Amino acid sequence: MDRKITPVSKIFLVIIFFILYAPIFFLIFYSFNSGGNMNNFEGFTFDWYKELFQDTRLLIIVLNTLVVALLAALFSTIIGVMGALGIHAARRRQTKNTLLSINNVLIVSPDVIIGASFLVLFTMAGIKLGFYSVLLSHIAFCVPIVVLMVLPKLSEMSPTLLDAARDLGASRLDVITKVVLPYITPGIFAGFFMALTFSLDDFAVTFFVTGNGFSTLSVEIYSLARRGISLNINALSTLLFLFTLILVVIYYFINQRQQKPVLGGRK
């Protein structure tokens, strides 16, 4: 293969990276603007950050978002891992494929459909729109993601490993707790982490199923943005960007750990 990258290709890549990152840094840059808009940078200020930290309403929303994301990730990981174990254990190929297709429905469904249909579901079931409806929806759309993150780890696990554990006297529960779960731990972490980011990022589904009293960050940003520019949002996005970077670094390390044994195995 031609390993060299021509200068033209380099410029192309630079432009792509510039376009991808420019809006983000644009937001961060103007978060320090004393001018109050995103057009002229008048002077450097931390005012918007100060204002942000005094806005108790917004802080509560941030807290809500985090609580929902953590709980959703936790529950969806538990359900998803159990589901992945079940799908993996299915003997018949057809059962497996059917379960997988059903699993993927919520992943390929547009957010609007998920949001609208959950709204109908909660209304029919008589669940009041608010914290619980949002949490349940987030758990629901995170479950298939966890399954998809855990399944490859399960199928990469050699079946003789389970035979070996049985052979050495392990009961079925021992096999799961002492062999399977430790083996798929990286997949579980990746699933949890993915669920966390999906929940934090979600706007459309939450927008449908949240009531008047409850709001998450995405929904709040939407309603602020509809009202126009406010540099509070810029300050907020700087913080969120840093937070995302931290998550990315954590995720990168989880991935690295996941890859190490594979590389070692090739020696």
Q: Residue 141: CB partners within 8 Å, gap ≥ 6? A: 106, 114, 198, 202, 205
252 binds other proteins (CB under 8 A): yes
Give the nearer residue to other proteins in terms of CB position, either 58 or 233: 233
129 binds other proteins (CB under 8 A): no
Of 50-58, 66-74, 126-134, 238-246, which segment contacts other proteins by CB under 8 A?
238-246
Q: How far is Cα of residue 46 from the mean position of the Cα atoms in its chain?
A: 30
258 binds other proteins (CB under 8 A): no
71 binds other proteins (CB under 8 A): no
Look up tokens 């949001």; give the residue: 115
Which of 43, 126, 169, 213 forms a contact with other proteins (CB under 8 A)? 169
Q: Which two tokens stand for residue 173?
A: 């529960």
In 3-state terms, what secondary structure has residue 46? Answer: coil
Are the CB atoms for 206 and 221 separated by under 8 Å? no
233 binds other proteins (CB under 8 A): yes
Which of 129, 190, 205, 221 forms a contact with other proteins (CB under 8 A)? 221
Give the nearer residue to other proteins in terms of CB position, either 7 or 43: 7
Which of 70, 74, 82, 127 forms a contact with other proteins (CB under 8 A)? 82
Element holding 254 (H helix, E strand): helix 231-265
Which of these, 157, 145, 149, lies nearest to 182 by C-alpha position?
A: 157
Q: Which residues of 189-211 are buried (b: 16+ CB within 10 A; e: fewer)?
A: bbbbbbbbbbbbebebbbbbbbe
Which of 178, 211, 254, 258 forms a contact with other proteins (CB under 8 A)? 178
217 binds other proteins (CB under 8 A): yes
Output the smallest distance, CB 182 to other proteins, in A. Answer: 4
160 binds other proteins (CB under 8 A): yes
80 binds other proteins (CB under 8 A): yes
Which of 69, 72, 135, 165 forms a contact with other proteins (CB under 8 A)? 165
Of 44-52, 56-64, 66-74, 106-114, which segment contacts other proteins by CB under 8 A?
106-114
Q: Residue 106: CB partners within 8 Å, gap ≥ 6? A: 114, 140, 141, 143, 144
